[in-house]
């Protein structure tokens, strides 16, 4: 789960099959609008940036026009891709982002400066 190697940009040299499969799994987890919004809601919340603290799922479900079990399903997909982690405390589950996974993605999508210089 994105543990092998680290962060070499895709455009620096052709990525191997195993790493491509790992990356595709994480990108696929982000390939849904509700999951993109959930990751954003968690990461934009102060508690969601602190491992072991987190955002209560009870604060997340209200933002969506889908049922709580559907939200739980999407959160599970994000968790299985190591984009977020979670902990049950009492009645509720709390979620926080996993910075290492996001950093890995920005690393693999990075471009040489020569290609981005005129993009501002």
Query: Which one of the spans 29-37, 72-80, 87-95 is the region binding a second copy (CB under 8 A)?
Result: 29-37
Is 58 a binding residue for a second copy by CB under 8 A? The answer is no
Q: What is the distance of C-alpha 101 from the center of its chain?
A: 7
Q: What is the distance of C-alpha 79 from the center of its chain?
A: 8
First-to-last C-alpha distance (Å) of the chain = 33
Measured from the CB atom, the residue of 88 and 105 that comes closer to a second copy is 105
Report 84-113 residues binding a second copy (CB under 8 A). 97, 99-100, 102-103, 105-106, 109-112
In angstroms, the CA 84 to CA 10 distance is: 23
Task: For residue 52, give every residue at least 6 positions away whose Cβ sits within 8 Å of its Cβ, in sequence order, or none.
Answer: 87, 96
Q: What is the gyration radius of the CA atoms in the chain, in angstroms?
A: 16
Tell me how far, at minimum, the Cβ of 88 lies from a second copy, in Å.
23
Binding test (CB under 8 A) with a second copy, winner from 2, 35, 82, 94: 35
Binding-site ranges for a second copy (CB under 8 A): 9-15, 17, 20-21, 23-25, 27-37, 39-41, 43-44, 49, 63, 97, 99-100, 102-103, 105-106, 109-112, 115-116, 119
């Amino acid at each position: 789960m994105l543990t092998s190697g680290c962060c070499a940009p895709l455009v620096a040299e052709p990525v191997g099959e195993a790493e491509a499969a790992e990356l595709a799994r994480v990108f696929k987890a982000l390939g849904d609008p509700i999951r993109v919004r959930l990751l954003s809601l968690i990461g934009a919340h102060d508690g969601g940036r602190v491992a072991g603290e987190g955002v209560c799922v009870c604060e997340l479900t209200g933002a969506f026009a889908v049922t709580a079990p559907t939200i739980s399903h999407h959160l599970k997909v994000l968790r299985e891709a190591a984009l977020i982690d979670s902990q049950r405390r009492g009645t509720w589950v709390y979620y926080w982002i996993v910075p290492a996974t996001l950093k890995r993605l920005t690393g693999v999508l990075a471009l040489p400066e020569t290609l981005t210089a005129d993009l501002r």
